[in-house]
Structure 1
Amino acid sequence: MNRKRIRRLLAASMLGLFLLVAMLGGGQAVWAHSGTSLAYSDIRMGDEAVNYDLRIDMYDLRVAAAPNDPDVGDFSPEALQKFVKVHKDDVEAYLLGKIHLYADSLPLKGALLSLEATEALDQPYAEAKLRFSLPDKPEHFVLDYQAVYDDVDQLHLSYVTVALKEDGSDKQSYVLNYNNREVELGRISLLRAVKQFFILGIEHLITGYDHILFVLSLLIGARSIKQILGVVTAFTAAHTVTLLLAGFGVINLPGKLVESVIALSIIYVALNSILNKNASKHNLFLAFGFGLIHGCGFAATLSEMRLDGGQMAASLLTFNVGIEFGQLMIVLLLYPVIHYARRVRWTMPAMSATISVFGLIWLIQRAFL
């Protein structure tokens, strides 16, 4: 064997020894990920909450939740304890942004209760205890699990166990992968869907201050019961059309655009009632035109839900009926106030100016901030 070959073999041996020491040296667990990307989800359905115990590969979680952490490659016990302490908020934001639970189509609000560094299969794992508030025992339950797949590893596997009773009994098990990321249990009844989405529609309108101010602006511009019935009917017809189209996915406008135009509609209709002496003649067209955009705004609420396909039409229709019922309540409450306030000359211009200011604030927030 010539000297050059001997030197090459020695160099290769030294390089291999150096790499081995670098991976194992000093008891410092600085090692590459083994390629086994796993997570274990234990879900228990309670009367008031869903308790979600997630054990997930520490490497996956660190790269996904805190990719800019300078210690992301350090797996010493000290580094892992530092991670779960310093990056708890990052982990909570990541997990709640990637793991979604739905009860009877409504999204559940979750929180991270605790985060600990553990070990499984001779690898570092993180154990995250999540809790999702549950207003009522659901008939239809969906787990939408999106963690890791698109961030770290497409070969990630998630083993899911769902206990339908709080004592842990009546368990069902699933394996989720890149092409199958959901668990769906049960089916919402027609009666429950009708009741739930009717109430949701009422709540959405009553708590939607921008929609209320728009309706108020229309009422200010109307001069008679006939005109009030006309603008309310036009507004209802318009937002019903776009609500149904958006709900079935026929149209899909950017949320920022929709919300900005809704704010603009409030400004325009409020100022029009002050500056235009013939505002009542144009309010019918304004109610219908801007109502189309408001319908897309109503549909945005439904976009956060997981509607049961079999109850899609019933859910959309009863949600819209709830909106109309809430709208009727608003009109019946506001009309007497406006009727008597007209007796004071400056009241209507002052109300319209105040409404336009609110609309301007919302427009700036939605379009530019």
Structure 2
Amino acid sequence: MKRLLPAFLIAAFLLVGGLASPAGAHPMSTSAVLLDIGDDRVEGEVQLPLDRLAVAVDRELTRDSVLGADRAFLETYTAGHISAVGDDDRPWPVTLGAGSVRTIDGTPHLVYPLRIRPPDGRVTTFDLRYDVIVEELLTHRIIATVRYDFDRGILKTDDAETLGIFDYTTKSLEVPAGQGSWLRGFATTAGLGVEHIGEGADHLLFLLMLLIPAPLVATRGRWRTAPSARRAVGRVVHVVTAFAVGHSLTLALAAAGVIDLPSRPVETLIAVSIAVSAVHAIRPLVAHGEVFIASGFGLVHGLAFASLIGDLGLDRGSLVTTLLGFNLGIELTQLLVVALMMPSLLVLSRTRVYPAFRTGVAVVGLVFSVSWMLERATLTSYDPFESVQTWLVGHPLIVAATVAALAVVARRTVPRAPSDRHEVLSAR
């Protein structure tokens, strides 16, 4: 017996090692349930790894068979293991859409669109009961995630909330729906608008190119100092308002599906808008041109904003509330840019430094815009100025403080710019 003990231990070690090795090399795939919670329904999808599904139903499954010979059987099997019950113990109808095969984390999955509708048409907290695969494969795990819930401020992938994990001991999870408020979702959507403009170098540069000539007036094809600060402020208001009206119009139309343009031409046109506004800042293309540029190219920028709403999936909720919140965030950010930059620009515009400053900034904007145009039109493979643009966008206070310091120094040390009041007034 003592002679057999070492051999027995070695055999046991090899057996355990042999069983453990494949599991370590090929960790078990997990399923996923993704939920998008709306006011009157819950949508989402179910992701089932084919290798685990095949074990659970005791069938050999392939990409072709799950959409062919085994399609009806798998739809019936999956639907039979998913149910929902409201907090009043009433069952909620659950339906599955047409399945498709998708590779997720390197593993083929059978994916079903999911829809859950409460009988009274109002989504509240409910219990989701789920044991697909795990009712046969006890080691399996299913991760349940809420990826969209407007009222709780869950609007994009980064905000997704994990509800919990279904396994052989946990086959029901509470889904907290109908909580929060529209105000929370509205505030979160506005925050996304602020974030988008705050991180969008092209939108910020376009706004800056419009603001640079705003304190001036165009007379006889040249920029001259405005006859009064009041008139300069009025021109700034006109520019910001024109841009807001332009992008708000196409944002609403595109988000509603009335307008649908490919993103690449839109992004290229945004670069063109910066180039045009930069040229106008160097030498006026037409009197009050910045207002026309702001409104005209504002239409193009609105298409880009609408594309972002679609990319983030924000159009799954209340479209009106989403548009209002997102647009409010955009406008607040623009007003913040105006508040940071315009006092300094107004002071600088009354000094002899401003022509050089205006031209220099406009040339930089023109160079950036041309680089964006070439890249977005696929004529070049990268933007050589990307690191500089990223730094500038990431340090707005430093940029604003630098311009403010220049304005203070110029105001104290440089003579005021000449202003032919009669010539300017006659050109109005």
State the TM-score, normalizing by the size of structure 1.
0.56
- Return the match for 1:349 from 328, 338, 359: 359
Q: Deviations over 1:116-163 (max 9, x none)?
A: xxxx999xxxx999898989998488999xxxxxxxxxxxxxxxxx98
Please say if 1:231 is aligned against 2:239: yes
Letter in 2 for 1:360: V
Identity score, percent: 30
State the Cα distance separating 1:210 from its structure 2 match. 0.6
Aligned-partner SS, 2:312: coil
State the Cα distance separating 1:334 from its structure 2 match. 1.4
Over 3 Å counting, the alpha-carbon distance change for 1:62 and 1:234 in structure 2 is: same
Conserved 8 A contact 1:206-1:326: yes
Gaps of 5+ in 2: 1-28, 36-44, 52-60, 67-102, 115-134, 217-231, 382-428
Over 3 Å counting, the alpha-carbon distance change for 1:131 and 1:264 in structure 2 is: farther
Conserved 8 A contact 1:193-1:311: no
For 1:130 and 1:164, the matched residues in 2 are separated by 8
Give 1:245's aligned residue. Answer: 253
CA RMSD of aligned residues (A): 4.6
State the Cα distance separating 1:306 from its structure 2 match. 3.1
Over 3 Å counting, the alpha-carbon distance change for 1:134 and 1:55 in structure 2 is: closer
For 1:336 and 1:269, the matched residues in 2 are separated by 20
Gaps of 5+ in 1: 1-38, 46-51, 65-89, 102-119, 145-161, 174-183
Please say if 1:261 is aligned against 2:269: yes
Please say if 1:220 is aligned against 2:212: yes
Please say if 1:360 is aligned against 2:353: no
Alignment of 1:1-369 (within 5 A): 41-43=31-33, 55-58=48-51, 60=62, 91-92=104-105, 139=152, 164-165=163-164, 171=172, 186=177, 189-222=181-214, 223=216, 224-276=232-284, 279=286, 281-307=288-314, 311-342=318-349, 343=351, 344=353, 345-368=355-378, 369=381
State the Cα distance separating 1:304 from its structure 2 match. 1.5
Conserved 8 A contact 2:34-2:144: no
Letter in 1 for 2:328: V
Letter in 2 for 1:41: S
For 2:368 and 2:176, the matched residues in 1 are separated by 44
Conserved 8 A contact 1:190-1:311: no
Over 3 Å counting, the alpha-carbon distance change for 1:165 and 1:360 in structure 2 is: same
Whose relative contact order is higher, 1 or 2, with alpha carbons under 8 Å and at least 6 apart? 1
Aligned-partner SS, 1:252: coil
State the Cα distance separating 1:209 from its structure 2 match. 1.1
Over 3 Å counting, the alpha-carbon distance change for 1:285 and 1:63 in structure 2 is: farther
Q: Deviations over 1:219-268 (max 9, x none)?
A: 11212111111111011011111111111111111101110000100011
For 2:106 and 2:368, the matched residues in 1 are separated by 31
For 1:319 and 1:143, the matched residues in 2 are separated by 13
State the Cα distance separating 1:348 from its structure 2 match. 0.7
State the Cα distance separating 1:164 from its structure 2 match. 3.4
Alignment coverage as a number of residue pairs: 251
State the Cα distance separating 1:171 from its structure 2 match. 2.5
